[in-house]
């Protein structure tokens, strides 16, 4: 977790009732591990919202930050000056966006939980100027009201908690408000299904995929009964370990995502391949499972005889871009 967010969380959590936070964290873990959309407001009080910020915000922040970096790797010119964080809760996506885009000036977080917004605003006051001055707006996302216009809309860890019809309305509202939309969900079959539905809806509306897909055709993993996701590793703080009852000093947050934009993605910008799983390294070779620009998914085995391409394969990671054919990857 980056030091600014860590310090901000510690400042807000200082003096909080540790036992109450642990009990609330246990309830939240039970809800999120159930695999079903919650039947009622999850962050129903200030303690629950504070526990969520302490136990989930580090992981969701790390995942969203990595997603935005993937988008920047495809298009380094991406430079939003305004953000609307839809269903942003305690503001993890806003923190990630402010850190990844140094030109970001205007931030608005929209959510249905007043308690989550209050905790998020308290944490944000310890952050960079764009967060300290952010607007935290309570709104029922099902009321059909338009979202404030922005260069970038983030819809993170939200759609999987909504009924399909409401998911569609939220995606449509984000697309109407912004020029770039980032949808992020847990890297589970259900989370991926929500991302895939959002991707399909954006493509049907004439939008264009920036990341992770190197194409705009049907997802080859979905066609094979699989799901597209990746893992983001983050360090746990001492408080994080205590609240989760965890022994390890790190955790891996699995995430599915799509970043799309209103304007076309030039062929020269779009990646020709994406690594779908952890590369498998054997003596003298690396096996990469790839999503390809032609809409297929297949394995490529890179041998030591391929020189620079083999060295690049040894450094490739799950989720990274990968070039096709004989073109050697950039160092």
Buried b (16+ CB within 10 A) or exposed e, 68-85: bebbbebbeebebebbbb
Q: Is the pLDDT of residue 107 over 50?
A: yes
Q: Is the pLDDT of residue 244 over 90?
A: no
pLDDT tens sequence across 121-148: 999 999 999 999 999 999 988 887 899 9
| Interval 293-309 mean pLDDT | 95
Average pLDDT, the chain: 90
| pLDDT for the residue 81 | 98
Q: Are strands 106-111 and 135-138 parallel, antiparallel or unpaired?
A: parallel
126-130, 144-148, 287-291, 301-305: least confidently modelled range: 144-148
Q: Is the pLDDT of residue 327 over 50?
A: no
Band the pLDDT of 105: cuts 50, 70, 90: very high
Q: How far apart are the first and last CA of the chain?
A: 27
| pLDDT for the residue 2 | 57
Please, which residues bridge with residue 260 across strands? 181, 209
d(CA 42, CA 158): 12
Q: Is the pLDDT of residue 318 over 60?
A: yes
**Which one is predicted more confidently, 250 or 210?**
210
Q: Is the pLDDT of residue 156 over 90?
A: yes
| pLDDT for the residue 71 | 97
36-45, 57-66, 100-109: least confidently modelled range: 36-45
d(CA 24, CA 103): 37
Domains of the chain: 3-261 (3.40.50.150), 273-315 (no CATH)
| pLDDT for the residue 247 | 62
d(CA 326, CA 305): 13
d(CA 162, CA 194): 9
Q: Is the pLDDT of residue 70 over 70?
A: yes
| pLDDT for the residue 31 | 75
d(CA 207, CA 203): 5
| pLDDT for the residue 329 | 47
The model's pTM is 0.91
d(CA 272, CA 326): 12
pLDDT tens sequence across 178-229: 999 999 999 999 999 999 999 999 999 999 999 999 999 999 999 999 999 9
């Amino acid at each position: 977790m980056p030091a600014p967010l860590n310090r901000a969380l510690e400042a807000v959590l200082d003096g909080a009732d540790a036992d109450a936070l642990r009990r609330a964290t246990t309830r939240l873990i039970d809800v999120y591990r159930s695999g079903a959309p919650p039947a009622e407001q999850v962050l129903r009080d200030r303690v629950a919202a504070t526990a969520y910020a302490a136990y989930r915000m580090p992981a969701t922040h790390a995942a969203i930050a990595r997603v935005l970096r993937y988008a920047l790797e495809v298009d380094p010119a991406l430079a939003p000056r305004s953000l609307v964080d839809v269903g942003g809760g305690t503001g993890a996506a806003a923190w990630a966006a402010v850190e990844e885009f140094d030109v970001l000036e205007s931030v608005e977080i929209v959510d249905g939980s007043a308690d989550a917004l209050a905790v998020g605003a308290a944490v944000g006051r310890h952050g960079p100027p764009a967060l300290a001055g952010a607007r935290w707006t309570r709104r029922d996302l099902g009321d059909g009201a338009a979202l404030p216009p922005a260069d970038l809309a983030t819809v993170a860890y939200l759609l999987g908690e909504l009924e399909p019809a409401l998911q569609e309305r939220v995606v449509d509202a984000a697309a109407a408000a912004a020029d770039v939309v980032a949808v992020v969900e847990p890297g589970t079959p259900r989370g991926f299904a929500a991302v895939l539905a959002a991707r399909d809806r954006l493509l049907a509306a004439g939008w264009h995929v920036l990341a992770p897909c190197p194409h705009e055709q049907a997802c080859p993993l979905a066609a094979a009964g699989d799901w597209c996701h990746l893992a983001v590793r983050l360090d746990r703080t001492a408080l994080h370990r205590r609240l989760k009852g965890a022994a390890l000093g790190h955790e891996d947050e699995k995430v599915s995502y799509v970043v799309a934009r209103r304007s076309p993605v030039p062929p020269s910008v779009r990646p020709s391949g994406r690594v779908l799983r952890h590369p498998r390294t054997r003596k003298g070779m690396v096996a990469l499972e790839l999503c390809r620009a032609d809409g297929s998914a297949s394995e490529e085995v890179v041998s030591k005889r391929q020189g620079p391409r083999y060295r690049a394969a040894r450094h490739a990671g799950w989720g990274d871009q990968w070039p096709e054919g004989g073109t050697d990857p950039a160092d």
